[in-house]
Amino acid sequence: MKIISTKTHGVLDYLMGVLLIASPWIFGFADNETAKWIPVILGIGALLYSLLTDYEFGMSKTISMKTHLTLDTVSGIFLAASPWIFGFADEVYMPHLILGILEIGAAAMTKSTPSSANSNARHIHAA
**Residue range 104-108: average pLDDT?**
98
Give the pLDDT of residue 19. Answer: 98
Q: What is the mean pLDDT of the chain?
A: 92
38 closest CA partner among 103, 126, 106: 103
pLDDT digit string, tens, across residues 50-103: 999 999 999 999 999 999 999 999 999 999 999 999 999 999 999 999 999 999
In the chain, domain spans: 6-112
pLDDT at 122 over 50: no
Rounded CA separation 20/18 (Å): 5
Q: Which helix (H) or strand (E) holds 71?
A: helix 65-85
Rounded CA separation 46/71 (Å): 8
